[in-house]
Chains A and B, each alone.
Chain A
Amino acid sequence: MQTEMDMPTLTPQQILRKRKAGEPLLPGELEQVHRHTIAVLLENTIGALIRVVNLFSARGFNLESVTVGETDDPTVSRMTIVTTGNDRIIGQVLRQLDRLIDTLHVEDLTGGSFVERELCLLKVRYTNETRAAIMDTAEIFRGKVVDITPNTMTFELTGPTSKIEAFIKLMQPHGILEVARSGRVAMRRSSGSWLTHEDPILNLSSER
């Protein structure tokens, strides 16, 4: 139980700053950490990719998932980054990403409506007794058999991370041999391509 004595004396300004940063006000209060999905367009080179990943380790940001692949323009690749942090940290992640010269566009998808998908390949053991049950479960998850041997089956499954994780959990009792997950890719739902408005603080004009 918090007593008034334990509470730190904060000025209105200090309270405001902590609110802005999403930092806890009182001892014991949980930090407001959120998961953010960020899409990044960058130069399609290994060097550019390393720069982005390096930024996360050099600045101590969390990196839950990262995927990368070429876009319709072969000189541009697209990364989907899933990271966590309070508002101050997420703001830093976005602006530091934007500061890299190899990044062409940075967009925080979280907060808007977006599609997020993951691909999973899962190899599981089966017997004649478990085969039907496994196939039933896979059917419910719309999993596709992509390889089969006399005692193993490999499924291909796409969906949100929660679906993938639920499927893995259900397969566990049967004896999973291997799991390969792609990490998440994401895209904003809407007719447009990229958001035209940017972080108001950034006030950046592209040299493009």
Chain B
Amino acid sequence: MRTDTIPLVRSARPVLSPESEPVAASAEPVTGAEIFVRALEAEGVEVVFGHPGGAVIHIYDEIARLKPRFQHILVRHEQGGTHMAEGYAKATGRVGTVLVTSGPGATNTITGIADAYMDSIPIVVFTGQVPTKLIGNDAFQETDTIGITRSITKHSFLVRDVRDLAWTIKAAYHIARTGRPGPVVVDLPKDVLLAKAPFAYPEEVHLRGYRLPGPPDPERIREAAELIAASRRPLLYVGGGTINANAADLLTQLARKARIPVTTTLHGLGAFPEDDPLSLGMLGMHGTWYANQAVQHADLIIAVGARFDDRVTGRVDSWAPYAKVIHIDIDPSCISKNVPVDCAIVGDVREVLEQLLPLVEPKDTKEWLAKIEYWRNECPLTYEKGDGKLRAQYVIERIRARTGGHAVVVTDVGQHQMWTAQYFRFLHPRTHITSGGLGTMGFGLPAAIGAAFGLRGRSDWPVVCISGDGGFVMNAQELGVAAAHRLPIKVAIINNNFLGMVRQWQELFHENRFSHTDLSDTNPDFVKLAEAFHCVGLRATRPEEVDAVLDEAWKVNDRPVVIDFQVVKEELVFPMVPAGASTSEMITKRLTPNAFV
């Protein structure tokens, strides 16, 4: 077996299709650093989120010299950079780009890469590397980046020869973007960036081991249409794959045509307008009672671009016990991974829905919808009002009222995230960005910044970051980036001076032992923190102040606004399926006495 230290032989390289002319080229040999910059231009990259360092200093030199068409955003921490690339990708549907140096630069991107892997977000992370001769010598700022990232990337490349650089960059973007999207790491040794080669950026690459789903099987689609026609209690279970495939409009048409109620996952929010009577909101651990009841009583579940995550299914063997399952997904490895399905359609969700839609007839689901209405009235989403205390749910409802749902909402992870999912009532795809699979605290602020860069020139909808006090602090330094670029993002900190979701578990399952979740001693003054970063800082502590503070925040157009919403700490996210319990066993209200009341 050949080792990687020997340069790849020619035939191992991807075959360029013969008619494919390079889209950009120069016959004169140029440095790898210049090839890198030109390749990104040729790829149509708009924004690079990066941080310089020794191993990539030549790329930064070329950025200064060549003044490329893409904009480089200097981030304050590489983790922030990866989340920005994720936010950019989620908001635009384009591939996000990150550029960092070797060693700590690379290791700081790990959390963002893992996050993008779990949530199928297309990003390409370029990491500097020590010169190839020093690899393995424990050189200064050396880490085995490919080794460390192997299980959290869709694919990764170590470029050992400057002649491989251009096609590798092309391949990285191709892999990140196509099929089930995901992160790709390209490791760039310093000597490769200094070596010279002629530049030719191929229009396309063919990787012999990279297989994409072909057109969906029409037989399976007919089978699905028959299952839908035969069902009496059908339910659409919609995930983020629907939004990735830009298929929200078709999904909405399908649901309305066949009168099938729709529940979405956390990442599916926005795929179906939540003001439609057919919408049941989110399902799963903190989904609505009525969505989960519908799951447990449905006789057919149509899973669209969803992966039967444990936060959705709870105890998997008691999930949807009466339902046949149709699963539409682009990733064959998702099929029957957690729940064996009755009809699997592998393919692009948009293509599948295009073909399924004409085969589905309008259905009479009145009885089923009436049953769901009964559940909706039995246990609606609600919280205590009128006691003069400020609650997160109210803040979220007021932000929703102000924007009319025409905003891109980016959340962090925790209670505020679940309340946003429950109460914001999303209308449009790509307007809800969050860290779902990995549950990365610290995701919200940088992802909102990335989304704001993505929306420039595309949309004038505001970017609203809803964060918790715990998660906000984890990447608060990126406020400096938002301020430097005068991004008018609104950051609503739902501040209960606690790690709220952990506190909730401690109250419900650990007898009120609030072990290391109280932040009141360590939290900063968020208003002052905002001001120190040249942002506007505002504060609200009572419900009647919320609208006025939002008024003030929405008047600011030339810099970020951070609003410290000081909410009650005792509030819990309900309803809730305890971890590992059956979806039928939802807790709908506080059962144990509250230690703080």
The residue that B322 contacts in the complex, of A11, A18, A21, A75, with Cβ under 8 A, is A11
Q: Place the interface of chain A in its size category.
A: 35 or more
Chain A proximity of B210: nearest CB distance (Å): 5
Q: Across the two chains, which residue of chain A brings its CB closest to B151?
A: A58
Indicate with 1 or 0, residue by residue over B162-184, a CB within 8 angstroms of chain A CB atoms: 00000000000001000000000
Q: Which residues of A contact B337 (CB under 8 A)?
A: 88, 92
Q: Determine if B317 is an interface residue (Cβ-Cβ < 8 Å).
A: yes
Q: Across the two chains, which residue of chain B brings its CB closest to A99?
A: B333
Q: Determine if A74 is an interface residue (Cβ-Cβ < 8 Å).
A: yes
Are B1's CB and A69's CB within 8 A?
Answer: yes
The residue that B211 contacts in the complex, of A42, A47, A50, A98, with Cβ under 8 A, is A98
Are A54's CB and B322's CB within 8 A?
Answer: no
Q: Determine if B568 is an interface residue (Cβ-Cβ < 8 Å).
A: no
CB-CB contacts below 8 Å: A96-144 with B: 96, 98-104
Are A75's CB and B209's CB within 8 A?
Answer: no
Chain A proximity of B154: nearest CB distance (Å): 8
Indicate with 1 or 0, residue by residue over B323-342, a CB within 8 angstroms of chain A CB atoms: 11000000111011101101
Q: Which residues of A contact B212 (CB under 8 A)?
A: 204-205, 207
Q: Across the two chains, which residue of chain A brings its CB closest to B211?
A: A204
Q: Determine if B138 is an interface residue (Cβ-Cβ < 8 Å).
A: no
Q: Determine if A43 is an interface residue (Cβ-Cβ < 8 Å).
A: yes
17 A-B residue pairs with Cβ-Cβ distance under 8 Å, sorted by A, are A16-B340, A16-B342, A17-B339, A44-B2, A68-B1, A74-B2, A91-B336, A96-B333, A98-B211, A98-B332, A99-B332, A101-B210, A201-B336, A203-B216, A203-B332, A204-B211, A204-B346
Q: Determine if B595 is an interface residue (Cβ-Cβ < 8 Å).
A: no
Known: A44-B1, A70-B1, A99-B331. A206 touches B11 (CB 8 A): no
Cα(A100)–Cα(B151), bound, Å: 11
Q: Across the two chains, which residue of chain B brings its CB closest to A77?
A: B1
Q: Determine if A95 is an interface residue (Cβ-Cβ < 8 Å).
A: yes
Q: How many contacting A-B pairs (Cβ < 8 A)?
A: 120
Q: Determine if B380 is an interface residue (Cβ-Cβ < 8 Å).
A: no
Indicate with 1 or 0, residue by residue over A3-38, a CB within 8 angstroms of chain B CB atoms: 000000011011011101100000000000000000
Are B208's CB and A208's CB within 8 A?
Answer: yes
Q: Determine if B68 is an interface residue (Cβ-Cβ < 8 Å).
A: no
Are B321's CB and A88's CB within 8 A?
Answer: no
Q: Across the two chains, which residue of chain B brings its CB closest to A45?
A: B4
Q: Determine if A145 is an interface residue (Cβ-Cβ < 8 Å).
A: no
Q: Determine if A165 is an interface residue (Cβ-Cβ < 8 Å).
A: no
Cα(A95)–Cα(B332), bound, Å: 7
Q: Across the two chains, which residue of chain B brings its CB closest to A100?
A: B209
Chain B proximity of A132: nearest CB distance (Å): 41
Q: Which residues of B contact A96 (CB under 8 A)?
A: 333
Indicate with 1 or 0, residue by residue over B1-14, a CB within 8 angstroms of chain A CB atoms: 11110001101100
Q: Which residues of B contact A70 (CB under 8 A)?
A: 1
Are B209's CB and A92's CB within 8 A?
Answer: no
Indicate with 1 or 0, residue by residue over B491-505, a CB within 8 angstroms of chain A CB atoms: 000000000000000
Cα(A88)–Cα(B340), bound, Å: 8
Known: A54-B150, A207-B211, A208-B208. A13 touches B332 (CB 8 A): no
CB-CB contacts below 8 Å: B190-238 with A: 206-214, 216-217
Closest 6 CB pairs of A and B: A205-B214, A20-B340, A95-B333, A204-B211, A11-B321, A58-B151
Q: Determine if B74 is an interface residue (Cβ-Cβ < 8 Å).
A: no
Chain B proximity of A203: nearest CB distance (Å): 4
Chain B proximity of A18: nearest CB distance (Å): 7
CB-CB contacts below 8 Å: A38-88 with B: 42-47, 49-51, 54-55, 58, 68-70, 73-75, 77, 88
Q: Which residues of A contact B323 (CB under 8 A)?
A: 13
Q: Determine if B534 is an interface residue (Cβ-Cβ < 8 Å).
A: no
Are B150's CB and A13's CB within 8 A?
Answer: no
Q: Which residues of B contact A204 (CB under 8 A)?
A: 211-214, 332, 346
Are A103's CB and B340's CB within 8 A?
Answer: no
Chain B proximity of A13: nearest CB distance (Å): 6
Are B332's CB and A54's CB within 8 A?
Answer: no
Cα(A45)–Cα(B154), bound, Å: 17
Known: A42-B209, A103-B209. A75 touches B335 (CB 8 A): no
Are B207's CB and A101's CB within 8 A?
Answer: yes
Q: Which residues of B contact A208 (CB under 8 A)?
A: 206, 208
Are B321's CB and A95's CB within 8 A?
Answer: no
Q: Which residues of A contact B146 (CB under 8 A)?
A: 47
Q: Across the two chains, which residue of chain B brings its CB closest to A22?
A: B340
Q: Determine if B256 is an interface residue (Cβ-Cβ < 8 Å).
A: no
Are A20's CB and B336's CB within 8 A?
Answer: yes
Are A203's CB and B213's CB within 8 A?
Answer: yes
Q: Across the two chains, which residue of chain B brings its CB closest to A19?
A: B340
Are B211's CB and A49's CB within 8 A?
Answer: no
Q: Across the two chains, which residue of chain B brings its CB closest to A104?
A: B209
Q: Determine if A1 is an interface residue (Cβ-Cβ < 8 Å).
A: no
Other A-B pairs, 15, CB within 8 Å; known A43-B12, A54-B150: A20-B340, A43-B209, A45-B4, A46-B3, A47-B4, A68-B1, A74-B2, A91-B336, A96-B333, A98-B333, A101-B155, A103-B209, A104-B208, A203-B214, A203-B332
Q: Which residues of A contact B175 (CB under 8 A)?
A: 101
Cα(A55)–Cα(B150), bound, Å: 9
Cα(A44)–Cα(B322), bound, Å: 48
Among B12, B211, B337, the one with the most A-chain Cβ atoms within 10 Å of its Cβ is B211
Cα(A100)–Cα(B217), bound, Å: 23
Q: Across the two chains, which residue of chain B brings its CB closest to A50?
A: B150
Q: Determine if B463 is an interface residue (Cβ-Cβ < 8 Å).
A: no
Cα(A18)–Cα(B316), bound, Å: 11
Q: Determine if A202 is an interface residue (Cβ-Cβ < 8 Å).
A: yes
CB-CB contacts below 8 Å: B141-161 with A: 146-147, 150-151, 154-155, 158
Chain A proximity of B117: nearest CB distance (Å): 11
Cα(A205)–Cα(B96), bound, Å: 27
The residue that A13 contacts in the complex, of B207, B209, B322, with Cβ under 8 A, is B322
Are B214's CB and A88's CB within 8 A?
Answer: no
Q: Which residues of A contact B331 (CB under 8 A)?
A: 99
Cα(A47)–Cα(B8), bound, Å: 12
Known: A13-B323, A104-B208. A201 touches B335 (CB 8 A): yes
Cα(A77)–Cα(B12), bound, Å: 12
Q: Across the two chains, which residue of chain A brings its CB closest to B346?
A: A203
Cα(A14)–Cα(B317), bound, Å: 7
Q: Across the two chains, which residue of chain A brings its CB closest to B180?
A: A99
Q: Determine if B347 is an interface residue (Cβ-Cβ < 8 Å).
A: yes
